[in-house]
C-alpha cells in the first residue's frame, strides 16, 4: 500500500481554505496496488448529482481506471478526414465513473493523486468545423491519427516530433444539480480543464459539492499544448492508477493541484482576463493561508514568482487559466 505521509495544512480565511499534501518525489514513489478496477465501458458523459455511482470507496483507496478516447469509439486508427463528417457529438467525453467516496460531504475536498498513466495503442487529433479558437478561419475538417504503443514521442511531420506527456483532459466531481450539464466547459467542479500540467505524479484537489463527491475521469490526452487552440489534443484511450483521499475540514472554491515542482491554482471564466484575475486571487489566498504572508506581500510574490498560464481557450463558454509557483520559491 501507499506509504505517503499526508500533511494537511488548513487555515480558514473567509470561505476559501487552501490544502497542501507533502508527496514523495516521483522517481522514489512506489506504486500502490489497486483496490478496485473500472473499465472503459463504465461511463457517462454529463455532470449531475443524479447520475448513480458505479463504485463506492473509502478515503485513501486506489482505483485502476480505463478510459475511452473522446469520441467513445467513433474514430479508429484507420479513420480519415471523411469520417469526421459523420461524427456525433452526443457521446463525446465518455467519463469513467462516478465514484462515491464514503463520508465526503459538501464543503470537503478530495485529493486525487495520479500515480501512473498508461497510454493506449493509438490516438488522433482533428480540426472540427465550428470548433476551435480560430474556428472562423479553419472551416474544413482535418484529421491525423497516430500509433502510440511503446512510444515516447510521435512523428507529426518531417522533422517534427512531439513528446508524449499524457494527462486527463477531464476530471471532476458532480455539481449540485439534477440537470445533466455538458462536459465541454470547465466549471468549479473541475471538468474539462485540459491542463497539460496535470501529469503523472500530480495531486489534484477538488471541492466537493454533493454527498460522496461522485468523481469521474476521462477525455485523456497523450500530448497537448497550453491553450489546445485547434480544439483537440492527441485524444487517446488511457489507463490511470489514482488514489482518492478525503480531506475533511478543507474548503476551496475551484480545483488546485501540485506536483514535485509547483503548486498551482485554477480558475475558469468567460474571458481570459477574468479567469486570470480569479487565479491571482486564489494564489494570494493560498499564500496568505499557508505561508502567513500579508495580502500585500502575497500579491507582490505573485508578481515576482507566480506564472499565469492559459490552459485552454476552446471549451466555450468558459476558459481556464492557472497560476503556479515553483516549490523552490515556496520551500520552508
Pairing of strands 95-101, 55-57: parallel
**Confidence band for 11, pLDDT divided at 50, 70 and 90:** very low
134 part of a folded domain: yes
What is the phi/psi pair of residue 49, to 5°? -70, -15
CB 216 within 8 A of CB 97: yes
Contacts of 274 (CB under 8 A, 6+ apart): none
C-alpha cell at 136: 472562423
Min mean pLDDT across 3-17, 99-113, 146-160 is at: 3-17
Q: What is the mean pLDDT of residues 73-94?
A: 95
Q: What is the mean pLDDT of residues 64-74?
A: 98
Integer CA distances (angstroms), 117 to 32, 38, 246, in order: 13, 14, 21
Q: Which DSSP category does 108 fall into? A: -
Segment 163-173, tens digit of pLDDT: 999 999 999 99
| Residue 329, pLDDT above cutoff 60 | yes
50 part of a folded domain: yes
| Residue 27, pLDDT above cutoff 90 | no
146 part of a folded domain: yes
Total structural domains within the chain: 1
C-alpha cell at 325: 509557483
Query: Got the DSSP string for 62-96?
Result: EEEEEE--TTTTS--TT--GGGGGG--STT-S-EE
pLDDT at 1 (0 to 100): 40
pLDDT at 188 (0 to 100): 98
**Confidence band for 28, pLDDT divided at 50, 70 and 90:** low
233 part of a folded domain: yes
| Residue 79, pLDDT above cutoff 50 | yes
SS3 content of the chain, % helix, strand, coil (to 5): 15, 35, 50
Pairing of strands 319-326, 262-269: antiparallel
What SS3 class is residue 274? helix
Q: What is the mean pLDDT of residues 305-314?
A: 97
Closest to 234 measured CA to CA, from 184, 187, 164: 164
Q: What is the mean pLDDT of residues 237-264?
A: 96
152 part of a folded domain: yes
CB 245 within 8 A of CB 6: yes
Segment 273-308, tens digit of pLDDT: 999 999 999 999 999 999 999 999 999 999 999 999
18 part of a folded domain: no
Q: What is the mean pLDDT of residues 39-65?
A: 98
Segment 112-165, tens digit of pLDDT: 999 999 999 999 999 999 999 999 999 999 999 999 999 999 999 999 999 999
| Residue 7, pLDDT above cutoff 60 | no
**Confidence band for 19, pLDDT divided at 50, 70 and 90:** low
Burial class (CB in 10 A: 0-12, 13-18, 19+), 247: buried
C-alpha cell at 291: 505561508
Distance CA(308)–CA(269), nearest Å, equals 14
295 part of a folded domain: no
Domain holding 136, by residue range, is 32-252
CA 324 to chain centre: 15
* CATH number for 107: 2.60.120.580
Question: Which percentage of the chain shows pLDDT scores above 90?
Answer: 89
Burial class (CB in 10 A: 0-12, 13-18, 19+), 313: buried
Residue 298: how many CB atoms within 10 A of its CB? Answer: 22
CA 184 to chain centre: 13
Pairing of strands 238-247, 142-147: unpaired
| Residue 14, pLDDT above cutoff 60 | no
pLDDT at 331 (0 to 100): 81
- For CA atoms 294, 295, 297, 301, the dihedral sign is positive
Residue 249: how many CB atoms within 10 A of its CB? Answer: 12
264 part of a folded domain: no
Residue 149: how many CB atoms within 10 A of its CB? Answer: 8
Dihedral angle, C-alpha 189, 191, 196, 199, nearest 10 °: 70
Closest to 286 measured CA to CA, from 263, 259, 309, 319: 263
Amino acid at each position: 500500500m501507499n506509504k505517503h505521509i499526508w500533511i494537511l495544512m488548513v487555515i480558514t480565511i473567509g470561505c476559501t481554505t487552501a490544502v497542501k499534501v507533502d508527496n514523495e518525489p516521483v522517481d522514489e514513489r512506489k506504486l500502490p496496488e489497486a483496490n478496485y478496477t473500472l473499465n472503459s465501458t463504465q461511463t457517462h458523459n454529463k455532470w449531475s448529482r443524479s447520475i448513480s455511482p458505479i463504485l463506492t470507496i473509502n478515503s485513501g483507496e486506489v482505483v485502476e481506471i480505463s478510459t475511452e478516447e473522446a469520441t467513445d469509439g467513433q474514430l479508429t486508427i484507420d479513420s480519415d478526414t471523411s469520417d469526421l463528417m459523420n461524427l456525433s457529438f452526443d457521446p463525446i467525453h465518455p467519463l469513467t465513473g462516478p465514484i462515491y467516496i464514503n463520508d465526503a460531504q459538501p464543503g470537503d475536498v478530495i485529493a486525487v493523486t495520479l500515480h501512473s498513466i498508461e497510454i493506449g495503442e493509438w490516438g488522433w487529433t482533428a480540426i472540427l468545423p465550428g470548433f476551435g479558437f480560430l474556428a472562423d478561419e479553419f472551416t474544413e475538417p482535418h484529421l491525423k491519427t497516430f500509433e502510440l504503443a511503446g512510444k515516447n514521442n510521435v512523428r507529426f511531420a518531417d522533422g517534427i516530433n512531439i513528446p508524449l506527456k499524457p494527462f486527463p483532459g477531464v476530471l471532476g466531481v458532480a455539481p449540485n444539480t439534477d440537470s445533466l450539464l455538458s462536459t465541454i466547459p470547465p466549471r468549479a467542479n473541475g471538468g474539462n480543464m485540459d491542463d497539460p500540467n496535470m501529469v503523472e505524479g500530480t495531486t489534484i484537489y477538488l471541492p466537493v459539492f454533493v454527498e460522496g463527491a461522485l468523481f469521474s475521469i476521462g477525455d485523456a490526452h497523450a500530448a497537448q499544448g497550453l491553450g489546445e487552440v485547434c480544439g483537440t489534443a492527441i485524444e487517446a484511450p488511457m489507463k490511470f492508477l489514482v488514489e482518492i483521499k478525503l480531506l475533511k475540514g478543507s474548503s476551496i472554491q475551484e480545483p488546485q493541484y501540485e506536483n514535485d515542482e509547483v503548486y498551482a491554482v485554477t480558475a475558469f471564466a468567460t474571458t481570459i482576463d477574468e479567469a486570470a484575475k480569479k487565479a491571482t486571487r486564489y494564489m494570494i489566498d493560498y499564500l496568505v493561508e499557508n505561508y502567513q504572508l500579508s495580502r500585500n506581500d502575497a500579491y507582490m510574490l505573485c508578481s515576482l514568482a507566480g506564472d499565469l498560464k492559459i490552459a485552454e481557450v476552446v471549451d466555450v463558454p468558459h476558459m481556464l487559466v492557472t497560476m503556479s509557483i515553483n516549490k523552490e520559491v515556496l520551500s520552508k
